[in-house]
Structure 1
């Protein structure tokens, strides 16, 4: 387990950036994960973002422990944004992308995302992917 997963104090929070132009998608992600998707992980604190420039601004500023990017977001999709962040940031937190369908996993690989979960969002699958990412971080 990583340092992140060993920090289980209720006072410790991990900042999760959730990007989608669709407020419903952002809400489903946050609902699926809740404040603590696994007892070995710190509490999650969400930053909701609806536009790519604001994602870049937050990521440049630092302090994000996990980015969840909607590959179906418009006008800037999360897959291209994930690739851009990987290419441009010296230090990049784990990135999970939401793909349009399971067959789009190859796009997630191209984007250099650490994990992918397809739409519609399955809460169990999303929690499992986030837990694995944060345990490995």
Structure 2
């Protein structure tokens, strides 16, 4: 439910929120960005995406700061998003919220181990992804 005290116009002059989307598969990155679009909910500012295909680039980008949310594909190869999520949560002084995409419902325990803030299962469904992401974006 939308916050009645917040109007879409309240974010017109806001800086976009930067969302890192990591997957070794370009089609998965595209599905994530299409599912959320530029504005998944009126309660959040416009999203700006940073597409990343490799673990070293994820680490460099996150170390540099300025990322408001990271969406990491647990099925990425050779480095899966759950391991990267755990590393980021352990090593960054200020870690933005992390969403992990899992291949199976049974992977939930591993996503919990990774210290992800939310878990969404493949295939990417826009409503489920937005349902996980929007509350995390509201906190930023």
Shorter-chain TM-score tier? over 0.9
Structure with larger Rg: 2
CA-to-partner distance for each residue in 1:61-117, whole Å, 9 max, x for gaps?
000000000000000000000000001100100000000112211111000000000
CA-to-partner distance for each residue in 1:48-73, whole Å, 9 max, x for gaps?
00000000000000000000000000
Structure 1: 4+ residue segments shifted above 3 A: none
SS at the partner of 2:11?
A: coil
For structure 1, the residue ranges without an aligned partner over 5 or more in a row are none
1:63 corresponds to: 66
Q: How many residues align?
A: 134
2:84 corresponds to: 81
Distance in 2 separating the partners of 1:29 and 1:63: 20
- Is 1:46 the counterpart of 2:38? The answer is no
1:135 is displaced (CA, Å) by: 2.0
Q: What TM-score comes out, normalization by structure 1 length?
A: 0.92
Q: What TM-score comes out, normalization by structure 2 length?
A: 0.91
- Is 1:29 the counterpart of 2:32? The answer is yes
RMSD: 1.7
The one of the two structures with greater contact order (alpha-carbon pairs below 8 A, sep at least 6) is 1
2:133 corresponds to: 130
